[in-house]
Structures are given as structure tokens and as C-alpha cells.
Chain A
């Protein structure tokens, strides 16, 4: 994707400092710091329940952090709500883990939703763009009038991706983009993600625990553990780093600094 050496020279699109979020006594994010540079694709990896989704939801403004700062393009978004937050989100595109397509709408209406509702585009114009975006993710016009229930998981992900890029956002978020897909379809979705991010010139923030997917779509990888970023660096370095957390995680080892209880008694669902 982006040239590795260019990435850190660019301005910071998402700047996270001291982000803390707890649910009851369970501290999920504990003073997390992270920068996502303009035009780069950063993937956050980490085990289940380490707070990847919580991090993403905090950046999207779906969860309110307990403390800390999140700046998007220099604008502080913690504490924003109403129209101001909606204006920030107009520049976002998001692909959900299970696509989260609206059941009550057809495929093209799903793709054109942001264009019509948030950008006030007329129906005819939005339809044309929706068809164009669907073809960009490999789905023809014949899918336009189908309902989401008629599609397979892979197709739903494609429609979700088309919806995410329909408004030409400057920041794209991906939540476990390959979860529930076979390896071939996972590869297809990854390629579409890379292609879409590059065509838009957008900044990408992805969370996943699929290492193959992470390597395919990232310029840099950050590893989340114990509520903080345990390691961050260029994708090429992940295999060679001597960071014990990364080493244990990418090799799937039971021995190492990451402690996983074999009983459920001391693990809280996040």
C-alpha cells in the first residue's frame, strides 16, 4: 500500500491520547496512545476481549470514553454530540463485522443510504452512484433490488464495503472484515479494501485478529494488549520484531507474556 517511509512524514489523521474506558470494574482501555497518519492503513491486532472493538467504537463516537482525547483532523471528538458529531461522521465510512445492512431496505438503498440521508442527494443520482459502487466491489446491477437476506455472507460484506465507500469518505474503518468468510472470500474482501482505500486516498483503521488479513491490508500494525498499545510498527517488521507479545500472538503460542485463563471465571465479556 502506501510507501512505508512516507507514512510517518504525513500529518496525523487520528490522534488518540490517554484513552481509558472501563465497564464496571473491568478496565478495557487503560491510557491508550495511538496515531493514524493521513493516507495510511493501520491495523490494530489483539486477542478476543482485549478492547479492539471498544477502541473502534470510541473513535466512531459510539462509546464515550471515561477519559483521554481523540482528535480527528485536529478536532477533538470526545464529548461531541448531535449535529457536530454527525458532521464529523459524514467523512467516515465503516464496514461492520457482519456488514450490518438494513433488513428493511434493498441493496441499492443500503448503499445509497448515506448519500440520500446524510448528504441529501436526490434518489436518481444516488441510485447511479450506488450501482457504480456495487460494480466496484464486483456486484452487478441485478443485485440492486434484492434484499440483504438473499445474499451470502461474502456478498453482504461487499455490499457493506460499497456502502462504506459510497460517500467517498476520507477515513475508513473496518471491524474484523474477514470474520466468518472462507479464506478465498477473505482474500477477495481484503483486496477490495486495499483497492477502495487507495482509490479514495483515504486513511484506514482496521481491527482484526486475522494475521493474514492484517498483513494484506496494512501499512502499519499496532498490537493491543492489556488496554494499551504493546507494539506498533511497519507491517514488514512484525515477523522480525523481538517484542514478546507480538511474537506470542502471531505464532499462536500458549507460553509467553500474554496470559490466557483456561477458565472463564476471571474473564469478563467485552
Chain B
């Protein structure tokens, strides 16, 4: 049965990738907790991941909040349930859209940049140079990025949540004729601690996934410019898929009854 051979290769290579990634992840995590630490590099990466991602995440969040209010109104008006719009906006943004959209945007911006930077370092022997200078690249390159991703994404998502809800508020007040005080009261009344916390937990997980994928693909890139290009693409694609997968898993853990 010749068709089984490629299938077998596919399964074996899948497990090989999972194995390599697991070893890389365990090394990355273990180096996050072992000295020496590089606080300056962590801070630099936090600024790179968080501060410079603010415009793109903010814009995504505000338009998502605005569209959400607009679309909800179109649907809910049929059942005279327009008053539920603040509730829909706050739940959707804090539980799902804030973390997922921020995660995907950061994966595109930061994950790609990390893969390209570390990949270029790999193909130009800069990573080998780190080894010869008695510096562990996992401590110097990987750990600061992973720590920065895990710490910064929740803050970024908190900002995205606020801006997203504000987007819904703007459309509801100025276009749909809601009373501002009532809208805000409904939003606050319906906001639950668990919704926000689940979003922040997702954000931390997504921060880990994005930075890990960026570093893993960059660190293992080969073959010059083409290899770095492939690493960048793979980092973004794999991070995006894992974000959506883990979004479901974390949602299931938090909210399945």
C-alpha cells in the first residue's frame, strides 16, 4: 500500500516537530527562572512588544467595538433587544475579541520581527558568536523575549478591552441614540470579574505562544535569506493557529459547565 508511506512520513515529521518544539519550550521556560537575568533586555522587549504594538492593537480594538455595536443593533432590533448591546459588547470584547485580535495583531507584528531578527542572527553566525563568547543564547535572546511577551500581552489586552468597549460606546451614543449614562451603567453592571480574568489569562498564554514561535522558528532557520523568510512566515502562521486553538481550550477550561 504505497499511499501509507507518505502518510507515515507526515505523522513522523509531525511528532518530530512537536518533540523539537517541546524541548525548545522547556529550555526557554527553564532559562526564564535561572540566572543570569537581563532586566535591560526584558525592558527593551516589553517596549517592543507592548508600547510599539499599541497603535495597531488600539485601532483594531476600536473598530471591532464599533462594528460589534453596529451589527448587534441590526440583529437585536428585530427582537426589540437593543438594550442588550452594552452587555454583548463587554462580554465579546473582554472574553474573546480583545485577547484574540490583540494576539493575532501582535503575532503579525512582533512574532514576525522576532523570527526575522533571530533568524538573521542564526544565518550570519551571530548566535554561534554568542556561544563562543560564553553567553547562552537561550538566556540572552530567548528568555527576555518570552518573559516580555507573557508580562506585556495582558496589559496590552487590558488596553484593547478598554478601547474596544469605548468603540462600542461611541457608536451606541452617537449613531444609535443610546443614553450615555444608561449605556455605561449597563456595561459596568454586566461586566464580570471572570470575563476580564479569562481574557488576561488568554493574553499571557498568547504572549508565550507568539514569542516562543518567533524565537523557535528564528533560532532554527537555515539557508540564508530564503530560510529567514520561511521562518518569519512559519512563525506567524503557527502562532496564529496556536492562538485560535488555545483560545478554545482556555475558554473551555473557564466557562464549560
Contacts and interface: CB of A to CB of B under 8 A. Distances in A.
A105 B202 CA distance: 34
B71 interface: no
Interface in A70-97: 86-87, 89-90, 92-94, 96-97
A101 B135 CA distance: 14
A117 B140 contact: yes
Given A114-B133, A118-B134, A98 B128 contact: no
A97 B133 contact: no
A interface, over-half SS:
mixed
A89 B134 contact: yes
A205 B133 CA distance: 17
A136 B132 CA distance: 21
A62 B128 contact: yes
Interface string B110-132: 00000000001100111011011
Nearest to A57: B128
B131 A97 contact: no
A86 B126 contact: no
A23 interface: no
Contact of A96 (B128, B134, B135, B140): B128
Contacts of A103: 120-121, 126
Most buried by B among A93, A101, A102: A102
B132 A60 contact: yes
A225 interface: no
Interface size class for chain A?
Answer: 20 to 34
A98 B132 contact: no
A118 B131 CA distance: 10
B136 interface: yes
A90 B136 CA distance: 12
A89 B129 contact: no
A61 interface: yes
Contacts of B121: 102-103
Contact of B135 (A57, A60, A93, A117): A117
Contacts of A62: 128, 131-132
B120 to A, nearest CB: 8
Most buried by A among B120, B128, B134, B135: B134
Most buried by A among B120, B131, B132, B135: B132
Nearest to B129: A100
B135 A118 contact: yes
A60 B132 CA distance: 7
A113 interface: yes
Interface in A39-76: 57, 60-62
B134 A102 contact: no
A152 B120 CA distance: 19
Contact of A117 (B124, B125, B128, B134): B134
A173 B129 CA distance: 12
Nearest to B38: A117
Contact of A60 (B120, B126, B131, B140): B131
Given A86-B136, A117-B140, A102 B129 contact: yes
12 contacts: A57-B128, A60-B131, A62-B131, A86-B136, A96-B129, A97-B125, A102-B126, A113-B133, A117-B133, A117-B135, A117-B140, A118-B134
A98 B135 contact: no
Given A102-B129, A173-B132, 6 more contacts: A60-B128, A89-B134, A98-B124, A114-B134, A117-B134, A118-B133
Contacts of B128: 57, 60, 62, 96, 100
Interface in A94-152: 94, 96-98, 100-103, 113-114, 117-118
Nearest to A160: B129
Contacts of A173: 132
Nearest to B127: A100
B55 to A, nearest CB: 23
A101 B125 CA distance: 9
Nearest to B36: A117
Contacts of A102: 121, 126, 129
Most buried by B among A93, A103, A117, A173: A117
Interface string B77-120: 00000000000000000000000000000000000000000001
